[in-house]
Amino acid sequence: MASKQEEASLEPEKVRHARESGAALRRSAKITKAKVLELLADVFDVHAHSGPDTSIGRFFDDWDNARQFMEWGMAGFASKAHAGDTARSATLIQRLADEYAEAGNVKKIRIAGGVCLNYSVGGWNPEAVRASAALGGRFVWTPTLDAWHDRRVEGKEGGLKVMDDSGRVLPEVHEVLRTIAEHDLVLSISHQSTEERFALVEAAKSAGIKRILIDHPQQANTRMTIDQMEEIARAGAMLGIYYSSAIEQRSVDPKEVLTIFERVPHERIVCGSDKGSIWGTHPAEGMRIFIVRLLVMGISEETIRRLFVDNPHRLVFGEMT
């Protein structure tokens, strides 16, 4: 029979969580809706998912995403799918969004598409990259669910590797990197191991790629140490710190972003949502909550604008050196 005198809420860990939550709620009382909307203006999400997709359930399609981004005055998003190429659909949704904005007197957005180099497009396939660029694509995502490392984490065999058994980057990978450089696309390094990520950054710099992004280094299956994050940023990559893995993921303390922001130069960080799954929030909502959580943790408005507005625009559309 349960003891009525036992008080689980007074256990030290529960007390600590309760006090931290209470303090955060009190700090959030100073944040207004108007301030959040002001900070959302011109935000570009570098990592938004939408449906239909072949491997993960999606609740929102690109048009759903576009309308919400326009409603909140945001700048736009990069549409990522694990299968196929989103460049063609991004062009279509861009046209619809432009017409919608003109008819509804709301600000226009920009939608960026690209290709994810899983088996559905032939893996490390330079022709898939060329086709995506011809369709207006801006991103090339390295293999995700078909990556050798992703499969290794899942306890599966096979998958697309970056290097041979002696540690040399594969010829087909080099060819893809040269093609990305030729079209000045964003190389978004996705579900590779840490060793593969460093090898890709080095090879990408040698190939002349200027836009290099490390996706979700806090995510469980692509986890990097903060020392490694700092080093790969020094090597020339930008870190993609995303709401899904930085705030929502149970295995990560949300306050870890404070250490990352202290250790990694802010010009080397972009923030995104990595949202859009059938069980999660809308990408725009993910960005809204992310901004609020950072404000509550004491991150300045100036820093938020840099990580959510300035750096994403520079990475995707601006001048990169």
Q: What is the 3-state secondary structure (H, E, C) of 108-124?
A: CCEEECEEECCHHHCCC
Q: E-assigned strands of 186-249? A: 186-189, 211-214, 238-242
Average pLDDT, the chain: 93
Please say if the pLDDT value at position 320 is more than 70: no
Sign of CA dihedral 101, 133, 318, 310: positive
Give per-residue pLDDT as tens, 245-283.
Answer: 988 888 888 899 999 999 999 999 999 999 988 888 899
CATH of domain 39-316: 3.20.20.140
Of 179, 36, 44, the C-alpha closest to 107 is: 44
Range from 98-107, 234-243, 257-266, 285-294 carrying the lowest mean pLDDT: 98-107
DSSP 211: E
Give per-residue pLDDT as tens, 164-185.
Answer: 999 999 999 999 999 999 999 9
DSSP 276: -
Of 307, 305, 291, 309, the C-alpha closest to 31 is: 291
**CB under 8 Å to 253, separation ≥6 — which residues?**
none
Q: Residue 110 in 3-state DSSP?
A: strand
**What is the Cα–Cα distance from 250 to 270, expressed in whole angstroms?**
22
Count of C-beta atoms within a 10 Å radius of residue 226 = 15
Give per-residue pLDDT as tens, 102-136.
Answer: 998 799 999 999 999 999 999 999 999 999 999 99
Cβ atoms of residues 253 and 296 within 8 Å: no
Please say if the pLDDT value at position 321 is more than 60: no
Tokens (6 digits) for 273 = 């949502």
Tokens (6 digits) for 15 = 């007390």
**What is the Cα–Cα distance from 252 to 219, expressed in whole angstroms?**
8
Amino acid at 269: I
Determine the pLDDT at residue 279: 82
DSSP 145-177: TTBHHHHHHTT----B-SB-TTSPBPHHHHHHH
Cis peptide before 126 (omega within 30 of 0): no
Amino acid at 192: Q
What percent of the chain is predicted at pLDDT more than 90? 79
Give per-residue pLDDT as tens, 37-61.
Answer: 999 999 999 999 987 787 777 888 9
